[in-house]
Structure 1
Amino acid sequence: MKLLILNGPNLNLLGTRETSIYGSQDFNSFFEELKSQFPEVELDYYQSNVEGEIITKLQEAGFTYDGILLNAGAYTHTSIGIGDAIKAITAPVVEVHISNTFSRETFRHQSFISPHARGVIIGFGLQSYTLAIQSFL
């Protein structure tokens, strides 16, 4: 099984950004843990702060991967284009969020991704990614 983890804006700052919300572990070290935990899964990782690059990556991976774990960060709440890209591809997408977006600002309660995602995992810290991988197995 081949899965892509696709992270959006500011997630490259995990471990240093708002640690009370996102924790103190950086994503690269967590990604290594995921690869060790799921040796039967071919995991790839891509992060971008640019909306168009995320759309391009969805289009590239969306016909060759078995699934995509997408944490689009703030673009979740603003990007119709990312939602449209998910509709256009064949790979199932699981929307992932580290924090509970419903316990935060009201604008974070809307997602342009959720209507097109296979499922949504919200609020379990970095373990949200673990749960998303398990959903594909």
Structure 2
Amino acid sequence: MMMQTMLQTGERLAEALSAENEALTILDLKRAATLASAKVQASDAFSAAYSAAMRTGLRAAGAEGGAVQALAEQLRDLTSENRRLLERAIGLQSKVIETLAGAAIPASRPATYAGNGFRAVPRQTPAMAVTARA
């Protein structure tokens, strides 16, 4: 029974990772963000089931052993892909933020002078904040 629980929670985690990976692949960051909580919940459930199985010394044998091995390989591949896709998305978001921040800074221009012959006080760049909600 405990091994079945671990397999079921592992399958839910695999489904959550697959869904998030699909969203990240097409850069649907809003959808990926909404799927993140399901991934965390599935990960917590799998972790609890795995810990319970390890505490009791439960080992998979026979057909269950093959299912556990296949699930472990699937989760390894999905988490590796998830990490790569998340790093890519974070990198792209950083570039967008840099571009927006760069656009907010006025272009270099020759010094201007005030009526009294002294240099005019340069105009300060306005403060800027960027926020996004999923």
Please give the range of the TM-score, normalised by the shorter of the 2 chains.
Answer: under 0.3
Greater strand proportion = 1
Higher Rg: 2
Greater relative contact order, per chain length (Cα 8 Å cut-off, separation 6+) = 2
Greater helix proportion = 2
